[in-house]
Amino acid sequence: MEYLLLADRRDAIIVVARWYYEEWGRDIPDNSAEKCAEWLAPQVDRARVPLHFIAVDGPTVLGTATLKIREMEQFPEREHWLGGVFVPPEFRGRGIAAGLSTHVLEVAPSYGVEELYLQTDRLDGGLYAGVGFRALERVRSEGHDVLVMSKTVSAHKA
């Protein structure tokens, strides 16, 4: 398994867009996987945040994660976020989400990131606690209780 920028496998944009639609976009009126792909494609970049990463095994895309800017409007002072972490059910249980999260942590300093935040509906921190994120606070977001977590990333890693 290796980790790539989605920009290096643009053919996988539709795969990631389908996942986003199925997991988070179905309830948005008039939305579709194709509209998610249209939204995602212009964001796919190699040099600046947001950065979309994928885990691949040969031609197979196994999961995705994104280094984002200001994911939660209620925390405008918290700049960089890990989000969009998704692994389809048939690939779960293999450490792919943890691997993607760790990869983002490792490359984040090279993009000027010092602190990385995330939100999860796993109120115990789930896999993110296992890769070193610490709980900051439990908040209500879009009608759900979520745990906001953070991790300081070393400026010496790249």
| Angle, helix 33-40 to helix 13-20, in steps of 10 degrees | 120
- Predicted confidence pLDDT, tens digits, the chain (158 residues): 999 999 999 999 999 999 999 988 888 889 999 999 999 999 999 988 999 999 999 999 999 999 999 888 889 899 999 999 999 999 999 999 999 999 999 999 999 999 999 999 999 999 999 999 999 999 998 888 999 999 999 754 44
Contact residues for 138 (Cβ-Cβ < 8 A; gap 6+): 123, 145, 146, 147, 148
Among candidate residues 13, 88, 81, the one with its CA nearest the CA of residue 43: 13
Q: Looking at the chain, how many residues does it have?
A: 158
Radius of gyration, CA atoms only, the chain: 15
Burial of 90 (0-12, 13-18, 19+ CB in 10 A): exposed
pTM here?
0.90
In the chain the domains, ranked by start, together with CATH numbers, are 2-152 (3.40.630.30)
